């Protein structure tokens, strides 16, 4: 009886949260899903009919297939760069830095979230362009050095997105690494394990949940990113995310934009559905 009352109390406590998520997440998604099957936007006296033409358009045009592949590769490149940068930084922060230095570094990591994303991206245009801040600093030290301006290129898009999303990787990995019991590491050292073995057999497996959460938090929004590619990419800015944005803001073809959005969402879900069994198997072994 007590357990059932506790369970019922838990349902009542979490009900407002699930209700809020349903209103703010599921309801908008359901509306956009409905729009994706309409022939046109039902404004005024315009009559819209249900159709699959918007989804058929995606499969009929190779242009959308190419942009989908570019967007997915952008997601992989940015996520991989965030893992390479963020995981060692989180490991150093969780296992080496102590006291107020850790708090100060965590504050610096969170600090970009307090500034406007658009301002951050425009700031990168002054850094990455030819004769920009970096170029001027290099030429001041090495006159005659070649320009390293990469603005309006694919690497510029990657740099801007990595800067925007690497804090997610650092924070999620830091939480997992901080939760690892230090006695496990000490036991490994007592048994004669090297630092590499301890990392490979203890630290890395136990921190995989945080690493996976960071990958999800980065890969999903990056695949659909449109602001950073549009500002930093120039001719290289055309991604599926920018095309979807154009359908909503320029062409005003919401049904096609909604259909492209759900196709991209489905592809992302399938990618994670294919990789999740591998992660679950690894966690079971751990």
Q: Which two tokens stand for residue 94?
A: 């969780």
Residue 80 CA, chain-centre distance (Å), reads 11
pLDDT at 71: 94
Is residue 39 pLDDT above 60, yes or no?
Answer: yes
Most confident of 5-14, 103-112, 168-177, 195-204: 168-177
pLDDT-based confidence at 53, cuts 50/70/90? very high
pLDDT at 23: 85
pLDDT at 44: 67
Crossing angle of helices 254-285 and 204-223, rounded to 10°: 170
Give the C-alpha separation, 41 to 44, whole Å: 9
Give the C-alpha separation, 59 to 253, whole Å: 17
Give the C-alpha separation, 147 to 142, whole Å: 11
pLDDT at 284: 63
For 246, the 3-state DSSP assignment is helix
pLDDT-based confidence at 6, cuts 50/70/90? confident
pLDDT at 282: 62
pLDDT digits (tens, 9 = 90+) for 136-170: 887 788 777 777 778 888 999 999 999 999 999 99
pLDDT at 276: 75
pLDDT at 85: 95
Range 18-39 average pLDDT: 86
The lowest-confidence range among 34-38, 73-77, 114-118 is: 114-118
pLDDT digits (tens, 9 = 90+) for 226-245: 888 989 988 777 899 999 99
Residue 261 CA, chain-centre distance (Å), reads 16
For 38, the 3-state DSSP assignment is strand
Is residue 131 pLDDT above 70, yes or no?
Answer: yes
- One DSSP character per residue, the chain reads -HHHHHHHHHHHHHHHHHHHHIIIIIHHHHHHHHHHTBSS---TT----B-SHHHHHHHH-HHHHHHHHHHHHHHHHHHHHHHHHHHHHHHHHHHT--THHHHHHHHHHHGGGGS-HHHHHHHHHHHHSTTSHHHHHHHHHSTTPPP---TTSHHHHHHHHHHHHHHHHHHHHHHHHHTS-HHHHHHHHHTT--HHHHIIIIIHHHHHHHHHHHHHHHHHHHHT--HHHHHH-GGGG--HHHHHHHHHHTS--HHHHHHHHHHHHHHHHHHHHHHHHHHHHHHHH-
- Give first-to-last CA distance, the chain, whole Å: 36
Number of Cβ atoms within 10 Å of the Cβ of 182: 8
Give the C-alpha separation, 155 to 140, whole Å: 24
pLDDT at 285: 58
Q: How buried is residue 159: exposed, middle or buried, by Cβ count under 10 Å (0-12/13-18/19+)?
A: buried
pLDDT at 188: 86
The neighbouring-strand residues paired with 50 are 38
Q: Which two tokens stand for residue 277?
A: 């069994």
Q: Using a pLDDT cut of 90, give the percent of the chain over it.
A: 33
Q: Which fold has domain 46-285?
A: MetI-like fold (1.10.3720)
pLDDT at 28: 86
Distances (CA, A) of 268 to 16, 141, 163, 256: 29, 46, 22, 18
The lowest-confidence range among 14-18, 28-32, 82-86, 251-255 is: 14-18
């Amino acid at each position: 009886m007590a357990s059932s009352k506790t369970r019922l109390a838990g349902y009542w406590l979490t009900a407002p949260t699930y209700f809020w998520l349903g209103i703010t997440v599921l309801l908008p998604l359901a509306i956009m899903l409905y729009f994706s099957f309409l022939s046109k936007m039902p404004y005024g006296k315009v009559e819209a009919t249900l159709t699959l033409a918007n989804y058929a358009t995606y499969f009929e045009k190779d242009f959308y297939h190419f942009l989908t592949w570019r967007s997915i590769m952008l997601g992989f490149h940015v996520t991989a760069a965030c893992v390479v940068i963020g995981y060692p930084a989180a490991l150093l922060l969780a296992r080496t830095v102590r006291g107020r230095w850790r708090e100060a570094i965590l504050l610096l990591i969170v600090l970009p979230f307090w500034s406007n994303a658009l301002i951050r991206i425009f700031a990168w245009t002054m850094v990455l362009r030819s004769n920009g801040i970096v170029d001027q600093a290099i030429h001041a030290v090495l006159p005659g050095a070649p320009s390293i301006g990469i603005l309006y290129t694919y690497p510029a898009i990657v740099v801007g997105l990595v800067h925007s999303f690497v804090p997610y990787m650092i924070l999620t990995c830091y939480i997992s690494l901080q939760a690892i019991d230090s006695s496990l590491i000490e036991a490994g050292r007592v048994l004669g394990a090297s630092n590499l073995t301890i990392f490979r057999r203890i630290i890395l497996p136990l921190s995989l949940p945080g690493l996976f959460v960071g990958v999800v938090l980065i890969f999903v929004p990056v695949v659909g990113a449109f602001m950073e590619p549009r500002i930093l990419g120039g001719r290289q800015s055309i991604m599926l995310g920018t095309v979807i944005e154009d359908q909503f803001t320029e062409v005003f073809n919401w049904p096609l934009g909604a259909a492209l959005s759900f196709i991209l969402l489905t592809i992302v879900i399938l990618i994670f559905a294919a990789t999740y069994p591998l992660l679950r198997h690894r966690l079971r072994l751990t």
